[in-house]
Structure 1
Amino acid sequence: MSTIPTISKEERKGLVSNFSIRSVQLKTEAQKNRKEEVIDPKLLPREPFTEAQFLDAWRDYIQGLLAKGERLQASILNISNVSLQGTTIALEVGSHIAKDDILHSEERMLAFLHKALLNYDITLLVSVNEEVAKKIVVTPEEKYERLLTENTALQEFRNALGLVPKA
């Protein structure tokens, strides 16, 4: 049988319950005493970078999203058309919902890219382009057509085996 740990009066003496008035007072005092560091934006690095370096950092960010389990955000970024115009990232997405999702996480994305590329002038410009949405294949016929454009030998393979797609 395991015993229940106990805390002596001496150990409890300095503790304050989160639900007490005293804890509210302590929290407000802590906020007043906390000094926020103000960083001069002119002192932040602005190292030049190439498009290849940007694309590497972009892929790293997407891999980080996948590692965290944020697959929807990662797939939106993978499907979208991304280009670099100076220090502005031009991103074309397929819907307004995808745009809102990206803008919601813009701060986190830019913080990652600022640190990865050592350039704090990077900005994001997101636009909606319905053509990007056409990249998403849903039905089996669309999937087959997409695979056929990537590998023309697929038709010969299907004919050789006598495969017929289901209607």
Structure 2
Amino acid sequence: MSGSLEEARKALFAKSKKKVSGLSIQGIEAKKVHIASIQGKQVVHDKLPEEDFTQEQLTNVWIKYVEHLTERGQLILASIINADRPVLEGTTIKLRFPNQSMKEDLEKSQGQILEYLKRELNNYLIDFKIAVDKSVTKKYVYTDQDKFSKLVEKNPAVDLLRRTFDLDF
């Protein structure tokens, strides 16, 4: 038994000699060798899908993503994404926003949005081109007169109703 105990001690001592501290020069060299060996063994992934898709498919997935964000409670991001409809040019999705703040907020979440679009549209070449365009701003209706004018614009019969009953405006 003493022979096997002695052999175990020698094996343990030899094993501990091979270990190096991560803070020593030998440890740094060992780490470099290890990283180099890992990089040499990198697995080549199959080519990612690049299926064609249409503007209509993009719009449908875009709307679906806005609904997904709304369900998850990410209302600010959902409203930013919903501010403009994407325009497809090849595999580039062009977006225009009325201010720099909206652009920056979208750029912060660009990774998760692109991942969703790539997965849903089965095309991993998709990319964004985001621009700030002051002419994109929506005109919000605030006053009663503005609301009435907007209603008349949509349906002229509303003005007939106002005149028939001699209502104000």
Aligned-partner Cα distance in 2 for 1:147–1:40: 60
The one-character-per-residue Cα deviations of 1:80-134 (angstroms, maximum 9, x if unpaired) are 242111100000111111111111111111010000000000001111111111x
- How much has 1:45 moved relative to structure 2? 0.9
Letter in 2 for 1:94: P
Which of 127, 132, 142 is equivalent to 1:139?
142
Letter in 1 for 2:140: V
- How much identity, in percent, do the aligned residues show? 30
Greater fraction helix: 2
Which of 85, 92, 116 is equivalent to 2:89?
85
Aligned partners of 1:80 and 1:94 also within 8 Å: no
- How much has 1:78 moved relative to structure 2? 2.2
Letter in 2 for 1:137: Y
Q: Unaligned stretches of 5+ in structure 1? A: 1-34
Letter in 2 for 1:58: W
Aligned-partner Cα distance in 1 for 2:66–2:111: 15
Taking a change above 3 Å as real, the CA distance of residues 79 and 119 of structure 1, as seen in their structure-2 partners, is same
- How much has 1:50 moved relative to structure 2? 1.3
Moved more, 139-148 or 69-78: 139-148
Letter in 1 for 2:53: F
Q: Unaligned stretches of 5+ in structure 2? A: 1-37
Moved more, 154-163 or 122-131: 154-163
Which of 75, 84, 108 is equivalent to 2:112?
108
2:56 is aligned with 1:52: yes
Aligned-partner Cα distance in 1 for 2:66–2:160: 36
Q: Give the number of equivalent residue pairs.
A: 128
- How much has 1:70 moved relative to structure 2? 2.1
Aligned partners of 1:95 and 1:130 also within 8 Å: yes
1:91-130 equivalence runs, <5 A: 91-130=95-134
| Structure of greater Rg | 2
Moved more, 114-123 or 43-52: 43-52
TM-score (norm 1): 0.66
Aligned partners of 1:99 and 1:126 also within 8 Å: yes
Taking a change above 3 Å as real, the CA distance of residues 163 and 78 of structure 1, as seen in their structure-2 partners, is farther
Aligned-partner Cα distance in 2 for 1:41–1:92: 35
Aligned to 2:73: 69
**What secondary structure sits across from 2:131 in the alignment?**
strand
- How much has 1:138 moved relative to structure 2? 4.4
**What secondary structure sits across from 1:124 in the alignment?**
strand
Compute the RMSD of aligned alpha carbons. Answer: 2.4
Letter in 1 for 2:64: D
